[in-house]
Chains A and B, each alone.
Chain A
Amino acid sequence: MTLPSPPMSLLAELTHRCPLACPYCSNPLELERKAAELDTATWTAVLEQAAELGVLQVHFSGGEPMARPDLVELVSVARRLNLYSNLITSGVLLDEPKLEALDKAGLDHIQLSFQDVTEAGAERIGGLKGAQARKIAAARLIRASGIPMTLNFVVHRENVARIPEMFALARELGAGRVEIAHTQYYGWGLKNRDALLPSRDQLEESTRAVEAERAKGGLSIDYVTPDYHADRPKPCMGGWGQRFVNVTPSGRVLPCHAAEIIPDVAFPNVKDVTLSEIWNISPLFNMFRGTDWMPEPCRSCERKERDWGGCRCQALALTGNAANTDPVCSLSPFHNLVEQAVRNDTQARKNFIYRRFKN
C-alpha cells in the first residue's frame, strides 16, 4: 500500500471560546467547552507529530486563539520545529505585551479579522461593543511590530457594498495582504444563509471592486467567491485528506473544520492515535480521498482531479448524502437546491442567529 502524500498545513483550533458571535462562524454548531480542551502537552505533541508527518505551516485558530494562555508557548514550539506559524485572530484580546511575547516566540504572520469598516456594521455581526476600535488598535500594534499582517474581511449581503472602503482601511493600516472572503454556507453560515447570501448583482459588483483594486497594485489580494453563484464547485480543501488537517479544541482530527457533520464514521482523536496513523489509514481520512469514491457525474468528469467533486459537507448539508456531487455543480442532479437558495434572496430574512454556546 502506498501512503497518501503528507499534509501541507495544520489548522489548530485551540479553543471555541470567543468574545465575538459572528453568525457565519466556521466553528461547528456544537461548540466544544473549555473543560474539553486539550492541554499544552498534548498540543505540543500534536505539533511535533505534524512536523514529523510533513506539515509546513500551522494556523493557530479558534474561536479566539488568544483566549488560550499557552499560545505563546505553542508558537515557540512551532518555531523550534521549523513550522511556519500563523495566528488567526479577531485582535480584540491583543495588547502590546502579548504581541511582544508572540513576536519573541517567533510568530511568522498574523491574519487579523474585521467584520466591517463601520462600527455599526462590525457590532451587528460580531455582537461585541467597542470591538472595531480594539481591532484598529491591534492592527496598528502589529504594523509597528513588523510582523507581516493580512486583513481578513468576510463579506455578505450587508457589507459587500463596502469592499472599496475595506481596501482603503487595509492600505491605511499598512497590511501587506487582504483577504476578501465571501461567506461560506456551512454550520452557522448555513443557519443564517437567507440573511447573508448576496444577490448576483452584489456578487458582480464585489468582483469588479476587487479587480479595480488589483489594478492599482501594491496590495496582495486573496478573493474567495461564494460558490452558490458558480457553475462548478470549488476544490474544497484542495481535496479531502490531501493537503490539510484540522485538529479541534478537544483533539478530534478532521479533513476540514466542518467535517464533524459527516455521519456513520468515527472521528479519531489525538489523545488515542498518532496524527500520522490518522492521516494515513483512518477510515475518515480515506472515505473521500482521491477519486474512487465518486459517483456520476463526477466519475467520468474531466475536472475530477481539479475540483475533487467539490465539498463533501455541502453535498451532505444540501442533499443529505456526503458522497453526492457538490450541488453547486450545474451537472449535479441536485443543482436546483442551490438555484432555489439564490432565487430566494429577494425575501431575505434580516435576523441573525448568533454563534453562541447557548444557541
Chain B
Amino acid sequence: MMEVPRGIVEEMVLSFARGHRLQHDRVRDVWIVQAPEKAFVIEGAAPHILRLLDGKRSVGDIIQQLAQEFSAPREVIAKDVLTLLSELTEKNVLHT
C-alpha cells in the first residue's frame, strides 16, 4: 500500500525554519540537521533531498531533478520526497 502523505504538495516551495540547517559533519562523515539544542543524523536519500531545498525549487522540481539524477521512476522518488518533507514540516524543521 502506498500511503500518500497529506499536507505537502508538489507546488510548494519549502525551506528550513529559522534555527535549523543541513550540514555535513566532516569529522564523523555523516549529514546532520542542526536544530535548537540538538543535532540529528540523516541518512539514505534524505541528504540528497534536503540539499536541494534552496527556497526557490518547488517540491515538484526536487522530485524531477532526483528522478533524473538517480534514473529512478518518478513515483518512487515522489513518495520518498513527500514522506520526508511532510515529516520534517510536521516537526517544524521545514516551513513554506
Contacts and interface: CB of A to CB of B under 8 A. Distances in A.
Contacts of B36: 86, 108-109, 148, 150, 176-177
Contacts of B27: 6, 52-54
A314 interface: no
A147 interface: yes
Contact of B39 (A57, A148, A177, A222): A57
B18 interface: yes
A6 B28 contact: yes
A84 interface: yes
B23 A86 contact: no
Interface string B30-49: 00101011110000000000
A39 B36 CA distance: 27
A82 interface: yes
B92 interface: yes
A56 interface: yes
Main secondary structure of the interface of A (DSSP, over half): mixed
A86 B37 CA distance: 7
Contact of A8 (B19, B21, B23, B39): B39
Contacts of B32: 56
B7 to A, nearest CB: 15
B25 interface: yes
Contacts of B19: 108-109, 147-148
Interface in A119-165: 146-148, 150
Interface in B33-73: 34, 36-39
A86 to B, nearest CB: 6
Contacts of B21: 84
A218 to B, nearest CB: 10
Interface residues of B, number: 15
Contact of A56 (B17, B18, B39, B92): B39
A89 interface: no
B18 A84 contact: no
B32 to A, nearest CB: 7
A220 B32 CA distance: 20
Interface in A36-56: 52-54, 56
Nearest to A145: B18
Nearest to B37: A86
A52 B28 CA distance: 11
A76 interface: no
A172 B65 CA distance: 42
A84 B28 contact: no
B30 to A, nearest CB: 11
Contacts of A82: 23
Nearest to A108: B19
Contacts of A184: none
Given A108-B19, A147-B19, A148-B19, A54 B39 contact: no
A324 interface: no
Contact of A147 (B18, B28, B34, B37): B18
A111 interface: yes
Q: Which of B18, B25, B36 has the most chain A CB atoms inside 10 A of its CB?
A: B36
Nearest to B39: A56
A57 B36 CA distance: 9
Given A54-B28, A56-B34, A84 B92 contact: no
Given A56-B39, A176-B92, 10 more contacts: A53-B27, A54-B28, A56-B23, A56-B25, A109-B37, A147-B18, A147-B19, A148-B17, A150-B37, A220-B92
24 contacts: A6-B27, A6-B28, A8-B39, A53-B27, A54-B28, A56-B32, A57-B34, A57-B37, A57-B38, A59-B37, A82-B23, A84-B21, A84-B39, A86-B36, A108-B34, A109-B37, A147-B19, A148-B17, A148-B18, A150-B36, A150-B37, A176-B92, A177-B36, A220-B92
**Interchain residue pairs A-B with the least CB separation, the first 10:** A148-B19, A54-B27, A84-B34, A109-B36, A56-B39, A148-B36, A109-B19, A146-B18, A108-B19, A6-B27
Interface of B: 17-19, 21, 23, 25, 27-28, 32, 34, 36-39, 92
Interface of A: 6, 8, 52-54, 56-57, 59, 82, 84, 86, 108-109, 111, 146-148, 150, 176-177, 220, 222
